A and B are shown apart, each in its own frame.
Chain A
Amino acid sequence: MLPKLNDLPVYDTVGVNERVARFGTRSIKSSSKVEGLKLAISMIDLTTLEGKDTKGKVQQLCYKAMHAHDSFQDVPKVAAICVYPAFVGIAKKALEGSGIHVASVATAFPSGQSSIDVKLIDVKSAVDQGADEVDMVLSRGEFLSGNYQFVFDEIATIKEACGNAHLKVILETGELDTLDNVRKASEIAMYAGANFIKTSTGKIQPAATLQVVYVMLDAIKDFYIKTGKMIGMKPAGGISNSKLALQYLVMLNEVLGEKWMNKDFFRFGASSLLNDILMQLVKTKTGMYQSSYYFSKD
């Protein structure tokens, strides 16, 4: 049932900015840094969502997902590969036996401006090919016009169509404009059955920001207190370096704590982040930064 939305907590932008800046002052060094970097790799949804994607491109990316940097020991596998529905079957086959999930965007990604029937076909196509996770987009137009019941019902319907696949709901926070809206959208998505809430498609700027993710983590926290259900969080878009990834992990650590510090409840939607983390990781062993030529670009 659609939750009550008129007594949700409100957010003060200045206060949120300040709080978020504090996470940035945490100094992550030596063993805690290595731990954080490895954790971050294990949480990556390695993503390619381009019009020019091909079978070959997806297969290469899948190999990268399983063999991020074989010359360096103990590099964990990424959590998932994230592709368009057209490539789910290919990715599934390429990743067979690796334990790496296949996530697929669906529901007329990225705009979501389509009928529910089309969206359901989109989801069904992904799930039928074996997608473990479905990343749907929230209907921002309906949300902004105040049609919350529509948004809620749509998510619930999609959730049902997902079957056993996990559902991530992309709020596209860059189009929601205010933190209060982000909170409201998070609330609707969680009550409608989302397993994860996700910031962005990566197609709209701004994509993930620390501020927005902070508000979403706060929503997840309150939801857990109320219902006992743990919802996952996925910031996506614009997270391309280790430092920023570590800041997100610091925030996760201090807001939601240890139960959320794993790939089942936190993901990074990113493409170039992996190589930057690898570079940092190698540096912790060798003491110097290697040239980016040493890290494979698939």
Chain B
Amino acid sequence: MQKKEDKNIFKASWKYSEAKESTDHIQIQKKYELYIDGKYTKPIKNQYFDTVNPSNNKKIASIAEATAEDVDVAVKAARKAFNGWSSLPGKERGKYIFRIARLIQERAREFAVIESLNGGKPIRESRDIDIPLAANHFFYYAGWADKLEYAFPNRKPKPLGVVGQIIPWNFPLLMAAWKLAPALATGNTIVLKPAETTPLTALKLAEIIHDSGLPKGVVNILTGAGETGACIVNHSDVDKIAFTGSTAVGKFISKAIAGTKKKATLELGGKGANIIFEDAAIDQAVEGIVNAIFFNQGHVCCAGSRLFVQESVADLVIKKLKNRMATLIVGDPLDKNTDIGAINSKKQLSTIENYIKIGLNEGCEIYQSECNLPKEGNWCAPTLFLNVSQSHRIVQEEIFGPVLTVQTFRTISEVIEKANNTPYGLSAGVWTQNGAKIFHLTQKLEAGVIWANTFNKFDAASPFGGYKESGYGREGGMQGLNPYIKFE
């Protein structure tokens, strides 16, 4: 099945001893309730589900499952809190948000460990990327809270009301921050649902929100699966839905709210093109490929999952990429030396494995780096599909795992056409040392985010969002305020 590769002549020999991040300092309860109206509340139907550690599939805690009845209570609490919260001076709202940001920073280590424990991502990423960016996002929007008049001069921005927010499992805390911070800054009240598989950091965030003294009912956190999300979407007293997740669910939400007063922002799937020109800094481009597809096990909506390499350098790039992949350490998410952690859930693993099977059935050439995957838990070796074409299903559909398809191209116009030949339009990357070429491509590529000579970089001040079936609305930056306001 796997093509035997020529032996890696640059094989690393020095094995790093285990360097496990300590878990002694974290506290996880056996059971978590819903956070409604400033109180931990038992779910009305008394149903709970297990949340597990994807690196060994062992149970971590029982999580309350919110049903339509609980959603109704939460929306009512949010509605009740709305008048008070929205009429607070922006400066006062900002103080609460600053406080939340600082509390996240203070407890950053705890959050990082729990994020890796519950989501499977390497501690290096949760420690250096997820948690700092989440705090950063709250800091950034705290600053906007008392400056809305300047962001929208002479237009009297007003909050929308009660906002339902549904977040995905790939960046649990960071996505909660992306959603909560601008909504709070603009004076909305919130019912937030974390993803079914990764509720823990959102529940820890509930602790912080509680400690920050935020008025009760302003943020309500309901755990549950897709049904809970549907109840939020369909609740008649919700003014807006903000959703990050799959395009399929995004379409369902669009249909469900059609004809209602509800507004929506959707941040959906992607199949980002990562384009390497022959005049790129090849070695850094190879690093960029790794960053684009293997960051967070490829569970990234803006992942650079379609690689386009100019034919003249294709052999070189692939060879270097394979060498680089040999040094990636796949394993225990809590080990500080781990580069690639566990696949988030059994379900996602089977989705990925299914796509790998489809690729093989389509006759694609596969390459997987040699690595010893742990026996328990959900794991997938970094995978390349070489010499594929636009017509392969694995090129067309979002896999959401560490699987990269590699195509070659010859001219700029060809690569632009192919890069845009997808229903998605979230991200793209361009690698060349020629500045004019970069600007030419950024104008032609249909993607919400285009990185030049880098990939998967995020900043609270920079708007993020999609084209086409990758969704609409922007999160981050001043533009990220728009979806949460209306004008008188």
Q: Do A and B bind each other?
A: yes
Complex: chain A residue closest to B8, CB-CB = A257
Partner of B15, one of A15, A19, A32, A255: A32
In contact, A32 and B10 (Cβ under 8 angstroms): no
Interface of B is mostly: loop
Complex Cα distance, B16 from A218, in Å, reads 22
Complex Cα distance, B282 from A249, in Å, reads 23
Complex: chain B residue closest to A31, CB-CB = B17
Which residues of chain B from 225 to 246 have any CB-CB distance to chain A below 8 Å in the complex? none
Residues A36 and B14 in contact in the complex (CB < 8 Å), given A14-B453, A25-B336: yes
Q: Which residues of A contact B283 (CB under 8 A)?
A: 9, 11, 15-16, 19, 218
- Residue total for B at the interface (Cβ-Cβ under 8 A): 28
Complex Cα distance, B283 from A107, in Å, reads 34
Residues A29 and B17 in contact in the complex (CB < 8 Å), given A18-B287, A19-B287: yes
For the complex, is A28 an interface residue (Cβ under 8 Å from B)?
A: yes
Complex: chain B residue closest to A25, CB-CB = B124
Complex Cα distance, B283 from A18, in Å, reads 12
Q: How far is the CB of B228 from chain A (nearest CB, A)?
A: 37
In contact, B11 and A258 (Cβ under 8 angstroms): yes
Partner of A15, one of B11, B287, B327: B287
Q: Interface 1/0s, chain B 251-276, versus A by CB < 8 A?
A: 00000000000000000000000000
In contact, A32 and B454 (Cβ under 8 angstroms): no
Partner of B128, one of A12, A25, A27, A253: A25
Which residues of chain B from 5 to 51 have any CB-CB distance to chain A below 8 Å in the complex? 8-19
Q: How far is the CB of B278 from chain A (nearest CB, A)?
A: 10
Complex: chain B residue closest to A9, CB-CB = B282
Residues A32 and B282 in contact in the complex (CB < 8 Å), given A10-B433, A25-B124, A27-B336: no
Complex Cα distance, B15 from A261, in Å, reads 12
Complex Cα distance, B283 from A258, in Å, reads 20
Q: Which residues of A contact B284 (CB under 8 A)?
A: 11-12, 14-16, 19
Q: Interface 1/0s, chain A 217-229, versus B by CB < 8 A?
A: 0100100100000
In contact, A32 and B281 (Cβ under 8 angstroms): no
Complex Cα distance, B11 from A254, in Å, reads 8
Q: How far is the CB of A280 from chain B (nearest CB, A)?
A: 15
In contact, A254 and B327 (Cβ under 8 angstroms): yes
Q: Which residues of A contact B454 (CB under 8 A)?
A: 14-15, 18
In contact, A15 and B13 (Cβ under 8 angstroms): no
Complex: chain A residue closest to B10, CB-CB = A257
Q: Which residues of A contact B15 (CB under 8 A)?
A: 32
Q: Which residues of B contact A249 (CB under 8 A)?
A: 14
Which residues of chain B from 413 to 443 have any CB-CB distance to chain A below 8 Å in the complex? 433
Residues A258 and B13 in contact in the complex (CB < 8 Å), given A11-B283, A14-B454, A25-B128: yes
Q: How far is the CB of B216 from chain A (nearest CB, A)?
A: 41
Q: Which residues of A contact B18 (CB under 8 A)?
A: 29-30
Complex Cα distance, B283 from A28, in Å, reads 25
In contact, B12 and A15 (Cβ under 8 angstroms): no
For the complex, is A67 an interface residue (Cβ under 8 Å from B)?
A: no
Q: Which residues of A contact B279 (CB under 8 A)?
A: 10
Partner of B10, one of A12, A31, A221: A221
Complex Cα distance, B452 from A12, in Å, reads 11
In contact, A256 and B10 (Cβ under 8 angstroms): yes
Complex Cα distance, B281 from A256, in Å, reads 19
Q: Interface 1/0s, chain B 274-295, versus A by CB < 8 A?
A: 0000010111110110000000
Q: How far is the CB of B342 from chain A (nearest CB, A)?
A: 19
Residues A258 and B12 in contact in the complex (CB < 8 Å), given A9-B281, A12-B284, A32-B17: yes
Could you list which residues of chain B lie within 8 angstroms of chain A, going by C-beta atoms?
Answer: 8-19, 124, 128, 279, 281-285, 287-288, 327, 336-337, 433, 453-454
User: What are 20 A-B pairs with beta-carbon distances under 8 A?
Assistant: A10-B279, A10-B433, A11-B283, A14-B284, A14-B454, A15-B283, A15-B287, A16-B284, A26-B16, A27-B16, A27-B19, A28-B16, A29-B16, A32-B14, A218-B283, A221-B10, A256-B10, A257-B11, A258-B14, A259-B9
Which 9 A-B pairs have CB atoms at the shortest separation, nearest pair first? A15-B284, A258-B13, A27-B19, A12-B281, A27-B336, A257-B10, A32-B17, A12-B284, A254-B327
Could you list which residues of chain A lie within 8 angstroms of chain B, going by C-beta atoms?
Answer: 9-12, 14-16, 18-19, 25-33, 35-36, 39, 218, 221, 224, 249-250, 253-259, 261
